[in-house]
Amino acid sequence: MSITSAFQFGALVAAAVFTLIRLPPAMKGRNPVLFWGLAATTVGVALSIPSIYLPVDALLGGENRANLILRYATYAVVTLIGSSAAAAFRAPMARSMIVGLPGLSVLAATVIATTVLFSMCDMPVSSPGLNGYMNQESVWAYAVIGRLYPAYVAACLIIPAFRVAATVRRPVLLRIGSALIGLALAENLIWSALWVTGQQTGVWDYILPHSSVIVLAAGLGSVALYGLALKQRKKQSLLTSNYIR
């Protein structure tokens, strides 16, 4: 297995495992947004792997409609998880920039632009990553739009994430999770900036986005553990107070 495949399947396993872990709490009504964000992450990562992308796209007609689904899944991921992360970081301005009027306006414009540009592309044969069509201006613009929105959300969250990680009085698990999420956001920003500016990244074009998913899953896991520990302490405190009374 090549290093590229290792990171791709590693990201898929990390996203799928954490999605399954979050399923029971989501069924009980505890942070379902995070579950759906992780489920969309799993779909997006799966469709970024050629051995999965090609048969799925063949079922859809073999004209790269699977890539459009990948774009929509990515937008859902960064919106849902970004909203949850902003709440965890106590960053109301960042949350407004993601799911408030400004953020939803950016998301709507991104979805419309993505759909219109895809309809303008001539891609009659399946091509993972659309690498066989980047000489078309409409395909290149479509690919750029697909990277700009995740970079926008990452830019909204990266300062709150590292601010929480650097705050000594915050719980250790929350600080670790925030640092990991901040690192994943930084990887995404670097990857997007390198690609959009036309830098030749080679294997890093696969390592950066997929390793960011692995790091993000670890960060969300730490934040989730912090939430469970906090809830358990509250239960114990309530039981103790009732016993004393």
Number of domains in the chain: 1
Query: Residue 83's domain is classified under what CATH number?
Result: 1.20.1070
Q: Give, in order, the Cα–Cα distances in Å from 7 to each of 12, 20, 183, 192.
A: 9, 20, 16, 18
Integer Cα distance of 8 and 231 in angstroms: 34
Tell me the pLDDT band of 139, cut-offs 50, 70 and 90: very high
What's the pLDDT score for residue 245? 45
What's the pLDDT score for residue 141? 92
Domain that holds residue 62: 3-244
What's the pLDDT score for residue 244? 42
pLDDT at 241 over 60: no
pLDDT per residue as tens digits for the range 82-108: 888 888 888 999 999 999 999 999 999
pLDDT per residue as tens digits for the range 160-203: 999 999 998 888 888 898 999 999 999 988 888 887 777 666 77
Q: Are 148 and 179 in contact (CB under 8 A)?
A: no
Question: Which of 155, 125, 119 shows the shortest CA–CA distance to 138?
Answer: 119
Query: pLDDT: is 137 or 3 the higher one?
Result: 137
